[in-house]
Amino acid sequence: MNPVIVEVGPLVIRWYGVMMALMILLAVAMAYRYGPRLGVPTPELDRLTVPFVVTAFIGARVGYVLSHPAEFTNPLEILRIDHGGLTSHGAIAAALILLWLTSRRRHLSFWSLADTTAWAVPLGNILVRFGNFMNGELYGDVTQVPWAVTFPGAAGPRHPLQLYEMVFGTLVLLIGFRVANRRRFPGEVFWTIVLLSSIGRILLDLLRSEERVFWVLTLGHIPAVILLIGGIWFLVTRQKRGDTRRPMPEAR
């Protein structure tokens, strides 16, 4: 595996950057496809797209810095995007804050905004994880399964967790399409995607024993468990309240 796609003089194009850009483009395309159907007019998406992408990126960076403080001895290193990484949970938190502010300012449904932009979660697990795979990072424990991968600098063949997350992310995306086409209440798409993605993160992080901070728990488990509980509570309470509406027509 090679993190670099092409290198010409000072120009270096890396898999991670390309996959990140592709994820953003596809997530935006999905938002424009489903936004009007979910109650978010296209002009509102025009106003929201750039602030959403920037805010999510900043949140992802801040989330990484807060969860890995020992890596940043100099505050200026926070601004170095080539040092350290990003966290999906930081991106989700920052994006939700922006969506809440937008909903208040533009008089839109907060949960409809969340449903419209939720596609970034499974797309990130599919595309960005491929970038992680090509970087040779975020792998799992040593294993002897036939599909084990030997990563540069890692002892022994490992579980390719990045590929597992890509498969799981694809399943979540397909389920998300089905829920969006039959959405019964605002927030159903967002919380279904987040709940399923959290289950995947909890299960797959069990194969990262080197990253454990307490018992079998990794840092990734903590926000995933919180989101899992939040998703179950939201979906169950909306069902009990009967806060449903007729399913949307199938997307064509």
Q: How many CB atoms lie within 10 A of CB 148?
A: 17
Confidence class for position 248, pLDDT limits 50, 70, 90 = very low
CA-CA-CA-CA torsion sign (234, 235, 236, 240): positive
CA dist 143 and 146 (Å) reads 9
| pLDDT tens digits, one per residue of 135-180 | 888 899 999 999 999 998 888 899 999 999 999 999 999 999 999 9
Answer yes or no: are the C-beta atoms of 84 and 68 closer than 8 Å. yes
Rounded-to-integer distance, Cα 156 and Cα 153, Å: 9
Strand-pairing partners, residue 214, are 217
* Spatial contact of 244 and 185, defined as CB atoms under 8 Å apart: yes
238 with 170: CB under 8 angstroms?
A: no
* 191-247 confidence digits (pLDDT tens): 999 999 999 999 999 998 887 778 888 888 888 999 999 999 999 998 777 655 544
Q: What is the pLDDT of residues 227-240, one digit of tens each?
A: 999 999 999 998 77
Nearest to 99 by CA among 35, 195, 25, 26: 35
